[in-house]
Structure 1
Amino acid sequence: MKQLLLHVRPDQTTLALLDNDTLSQLFVERAGEEDIVGRVYKGVIKNVVPSLSGMFVDIGIGRNAFLRDRDTLKGAPRTEGASILVQVEKDSTETKGPLVTEKISFAGRYAVALAGSSYIGISKKITDENIRNRLRSAASSLAGEGTGFIVRTAAQGAVEEDFRNDISSLSRTMDIVMRRGAIEKAPALLYRDGDLAVKSVRDYLTGADRLLVDDRATYARLLTLAEEEHISKDKILFYDERESLFHAFHVDDEIRRLFDRVVPLPSGGSLVIDYTEALTVIDVNSGSFKAKGMPHDQLAFLINKDAAREIARQIRLRGIGGMIMVDFIDMEKKEEKEKLLQILRNAVKEDHTKTLVLGMTSLGLVEMTRKRTTKRTWQYYYDPCTACGGTGRILSAKVAADRILEDLENRRRKGPFKTALEIRCPGEVKKVLETGPMKENLEKTAGTDITIIEEPSYSRETYTILSI
């Protein structure tokens, strides 16, 4: 059974997709921090940078967006100060502004509308020529001027009226955006996608058995939307039980586990997931799994198969994007390596975000890429640690004490201290400073009376030295 759980709170909306009671996908939207991916802006070109093969565009959000040359439309001049219509492909990161494209498109339930095109394409997964011709003819007859379409796989089972309504709606949206783009003064927002509640019905409900929502106002809004989108309202249910929605379906527990570095596998092995700015590394370990009499190759293949399926799930749930390197357990047989890659490719097909399994390197590492659009999931739940600055490590108390001693030595070289001193530092550092040889060195270096005061609010790297 596939079901959607929409958990609505004043500051955050969370959508969980469950497949047979197992968390399959997770989407988070904070109030005031809505996803800008898919938005269309009229921007102003600020800098054309040939060395970066692109240009910076002011779209009015405080940080310039970047437009790559390969994402521009052919034939149009690109000069500083010129206005340009762009759509956001990737949201900002801590160090970069959003990535935008001139190739504007809008996705519906049954088709994707393309700006500045007359192309009508049909999904390759629709193989029946009669159906392909019918859908192509319907899309062509309803397409607005300068709008092309790619018909999605879901269209082959759609009711004719629903398909036509979807195409007409996309054509109207494209027409409105282009008309606004012609009259608005840049920088300006021309189009924003629906919020997470809207997406739950428009993008995900078709493939699910039901949608449970725990907010009455949102429930009423979704019923109206379902009617407008010609979707069965019977699938949308209001959840009003004593136990909270996510607690009742154990989603809270699964979300907490998403932030663990080590992920256990059913076979007894585990995944170890580490992040960098541009790369995510996943290591597959055999762990405590022992198979009596099983050859190493069979054992490795068994654990790797489990790992491949779980890796696809974890990168979806954690919102991992960019380059991904996976170090599977070594296998000797070429056919088993090929089977493993195919298992991984099949597993990532469930992902709504474009994910590619590129192959295995000579070192046995599997290369993957996943389109980075929004934040990683942990960024919605955690702030960077103030003590370690996000590194996952804090300075040892011994080294922190050594730094205080070295600071005293440097100050003493400029001349003797004329008054007694007061050192304020965290409790763990105070303990080291007051122990054995360190205390003797401190007093010898200072050459004056020293009082050490514990300061609980200080991090390990913070201290003050005052004259008293």
Structure 2
Amino acid sequence: MKQLLLHVRPDQTVLALLDNDILSDLFVERAGEEDIVGRVYKGIIKNVVPSLNGMFVDIGIGRNAFLRTRDTLKGGPRTEGSAVLVQVEKDSTETKGPLVTEKISFAGRYAVALFGTSYIGISKKITDENKRNFLRSHAAAICQKGTGLIVRTAAETAGEEDFKKDLASLSRMMDVVTKRAAIEKGPALLYRDGDLAVKSLRDYLTGDVERILVDDKDTWQRLSSMAEEETNISKDRILFYNERESLFKYFHVEEQIHALFERNVPLPSGGSLVIDYTEALTVIDVNSGSFRSKGIPHDQLAFLINKDAAFEIARQIRLRGIGGIIMVDFIDMEKKEEKEKLLHILRSEVRRDHVKTVVLGMTSLGLVEMTRKRTTKRLWQYYYDTCPACGGTGRILSAGAAADRILEDLENRRRSGPFKTDLEIRCQKDVKKVLENSPFKERLAKTALRDVTITEEPNFTRDTYTILSM
């Protein structure tokens, strides 16, 4: 049984998809930090950088976006100061602004509208030629000059009126953006997608999901009203949750979310995953752990654990919002057919992801290479701040090393001549303790040859200090 849980609070909205009570997908939206992916802006090109094969565009959010040359449409000016119509493809990170594209698209339930092309495509999975011709004719009828459509597989079983209604909605959307682009002065926001509550109904309440439970009455009423306008969504599938125990606690979602921040992920077999993040990529290591072979040959044992891991890896990268390059170090296997089976399982599982995920293959070192489109933040970034002491490295300078830096600084200053006044050193409390004890105390006195006062600064980190003349 699949069901959606929509947990709404003033500061955030969280949507969880449960598959037989196991957390299968998770989406977070913070108040004031709405996802900008999919938004359309009229931007102003600030500078073109040929060495980066792209240009920086001011879209009015405080940080310039980056438009790659390969994501531009043919024709039109590409000079500094010119206006450009772009859609956000990837949200900004701590170090980079958002990534944008001129290849704008809007996804409906049954079709995807495309700007800047006259192409009309039908999903290859729709094989009935009469159905394809019917869908193509209706798609062509709504397409304005410079716009195209791709009809999705779901359109094959859609009613005629539902399909027409979806196309009409996409047509209105494109028309609004075109008209606003003509009159707005850039940089300006032209289009924004619905909030997470709207997306839960439009994008995630699919045919295999039995119901959606909502724990906020206003949101429930809003979604119920939307369902009345959609002939393909039953209002009876949208339920208001009003029990004493919180929604996420009752369905054991809270503990499942907390587990997503752990480095080690246990596997049902007794093995485990170890997940480590870097700026450029994510590394996942598969360990055999406490798995007991009970006479099973090593190669069979390795395949059993790796198979177990493949299912969990696809789930973890989806839930944690991991994007970019992913390297997986599976347990070594000798047989080629088992390696191929493992890749097949992994490729099959990542197809469930709403975000494009590609399993590239296995390297000569036995590492599986994957990529997942990076669109929004990683999950931990919604719940945790980067540590001000370690800057996200997980390590801080030892008190002894910090004290040694202070003494080296004093020794360098002393080379310019003896100190003419007494000194005050302001530093973090642990560093102060080290400086006040041997051998640092003797070394400090020998270096300064003056009275030195050491003052604790509560707001200083270990690598922060000042040396003052008194």
Q: Is TM-score (shorter-chain normalized) higher than 0.5?
A: yes
RMSD over aligned CA atoms reads: 1.9
Deviation at 1:431, TM superposition (A): 3.3
CA distance in 1: counterparts of 2:81 and 2:447, whole angstroms: 62
Higher mean displacement: 429-438 or 289-298: 429-438
CA distance in 1: counterparts of 2:212 and 2:130, whole angstroms: 34
> What does residue 218 of structure 1 align with?
219
Aligned pair in 2 of structure 1 residues 422, 78: CA closer, same or farther (>3 Å)? closer
Tell me the SS of whatever aligns to 2:95.
Answer: coil
Aligned pair in 2 of structure 1 residues 288, 68: CA closer, same or farther (>3 Å)? same
CA distance in 2: counterparts of 1:83 and 1:417, whole angstroms: 60
CA distance in 2: counterparts of 1:59 and 1:269, whole angstroms: 47
Tell me the SS of whatever aligns to 1:35.
Answer: coil
> What does residue 41 of structure 1 align with?
41
Q: Select which of 274, 294, 317 maps to 1:315.
A: 317
> What does residue 128 of structure 1 align with?
128
CA contact (8 A) 1:430 1:454 kept: yes
CA distance in 1: counterparts of 2:53 and 2:143, whole angstroms: 33
CA distance in 2: counterparts of 1:462 and 1:48, whole angstroms: 39
TM-score by length of 2: 0.94
Tell me the SS of whatever aligns to 1:6.
Answer: strand
CA distance in 2: counterparts of 1:407 and 1:350, whole angstroms: 57
> What does residue 245 of structure 2 align with?
243
Higher mean displacement: 219-228 or 379-388: 219-228
CA distance in 1: counterparts of 2:446 and 2:358, whole angstroms: 63
Higher mean displacement: 456-465 or 312-321: 456-465
The percentage of counterpart residues that share the same residue type is 80
CA distance in 1: counterparts of 2:223 and 2:26, whole angstroms: 19
Tell me the SS of whatever aligns to 1:436.
Answer: coil
> What does residue 82 of structure 1 align with?
82
Aligned pair in 2 of structure 1 residues 446, 290: CA closer, same or farther (>3 Å)? farther
> What does residue 369 of structure 1 align with?
371
> What does residue 99 of structure 2 align with?
99
Tell me the SS of whatever aligns to 2:205.
Answer: helix
Q: Select which of 444, 454, 457 maps to 1:442.
A: 444
Q: 1:298-319 CA distances to partner (integer Å, 9 max, x unpaired)?
A: 1111111111111111111111
CA contact (8 A) 1:143 1:167 kept: no
CA distance in 2: counterparts of 1:400 and 1:219, whole angstroms: 55
Aligned pair in 2 of structure 1 residues 187, 449: CA closer, same or farther (>3 Å)? closer
> What does residue 334 of structure 1 align with?
336
> What does residue 166 of structure 2 align with?
166
Q: Select which of 438, 461, 465 maps to 2:463.
A: 461
> What does residue 405 of structure 2 align with?
403
Aligned pair in 2 of structure 1 residues 271, 45: CA closer, same or farther (>3 Å)? same
> What does residue 299 of structure 1 align with?
301
After TM superposition, the structure 1 = structure 2 runs for residues 132-281 of structure 1, keeping only pairs within 5 Å, are: 132-207=132-207, 208-230=209-231, 231-281=233-283
CA distance in 2: counterparts of 1:36 and 1:446, whole angstroms: 56
Deviation at 1:290, TM superposition (A): 2.6
Higher mean displacement: 352-361 or 29-38: 29-38
CA distance in 2: counterparts of 1:448 and 1:302, whole angstroms: 70
Aligned pair in 2 of structure 1 residues 436, 44: CA closer, same or farther (>3 Å)? closer
Deviation at 1:147, TM superposition (A): 2.8
CA distance in 2: counterparts of 1:195 and 1:131, whole angstroms: 33
> What does residue 392 of structure 1 align with?
394
Aligned pair in 2 of structure 1 residues 47, 458: CA closer, same or farther (>3 Å)? closer
CA distance in 2: counterparts of 1:356 and 1:303, whole angstroms: 22
Q: 1:125-156 CA distances to partner (integer Å, 9 max, x unpaired)?
A: 22333433332233233434443211112222
Higher mean displacement: 133-142 or 57-66: 133-142
Q: Which runs of 5 or more residues in structure 1 are unaligned? A: none
- Letter paired with 1:115: F
Higher mean displacement: 52-61 or 386-395: 52-61
CA contact (8 A) 1:202 1:229 kept: no
Aligned pair in 2 of structure 1 residues 371, 424: CA closer, same or farther (>3 Å)? same
> What does residue 108 of structure 2 align with?
108
Deviation at 1:108, TM superposition (A): 0.5
CA contact (8 A) 1:147 1:171 kept: no
Q: Which runs of 5 or more residues in structure 2 are unaligned? A: none
CA distance in 2: counterparts of 1:91 and 1:288, whole angstroms: 40
Q: Select which of 369, 385, 393 maps to 1:383.
A: 385
After TM superposition, the structure 1 = structure 2 runs for residues 278-293 of structure 1, keeping only pairs within 5 Å, are: 278-293=280-295
- Letter paired with 2:385: D
TM-score by length of 1: 0.95
